[in-house]
Amino acid sequence: MVTGPAAPARPHLPLRPLWLCRVCAAPWPCATARLTLVAEYADDRIALSIYLCAVLHEATADLYRLHPDDGPEPTALFARFLAWVPRRRPMGGP
């Protein structure tokens, strides 16, 4: 069987205004997006937190616009967008 080069992996980006992952349809940031973001911002966790705060702001506006009467709980949005961000580097790292 002859196989060609592997297709490039599609990035796990949000589908707005639903804020679902374009690849796996999980609430964004999905597990893959989280891993990618942590790796991308490995040297600047503060920038990652600032980026996610901005994204949280946009997602909140979109999701409440879609569901004005029963929008997502603020605590659930915090957990989804910010609570998972590593707070500091592991011991023994540079």
Give mean pLDDT in consecutive 10-residue pieces for the chain, a chain of 94 residues.
64 97 98 97 95 98 95 94 84 58
- Residue (of 13, 6, 1) closest to 59 by Cα position: 13
Report pLDDT for 71. Answer: 86
Report pLDDT for 8. Answer: 63
Report pLDDT for 93. Answer: 56
Report pLDDT for 92. Answer: 60
Round to whole Å and give the CA distance between 15 and 66. 13
Longest dimension (CA), the chain: 55
Write the CB contacts of 66 (distance below 8 Å, at least 6 apart in sequence): 17, 18
54 falls within a domain:
yes
Q: Which domain holds residue 44?
A: 14-81
56 phi and psi angles, rounded to 5 deg: -60, -40
76 falls within a domain:
yes
Report pLDDT for 69. Answer: 92
Q: pTM of the predicted model, to two decimals?
A: 0.81
Looking at the structure of the chain, the number of domains it has is 1
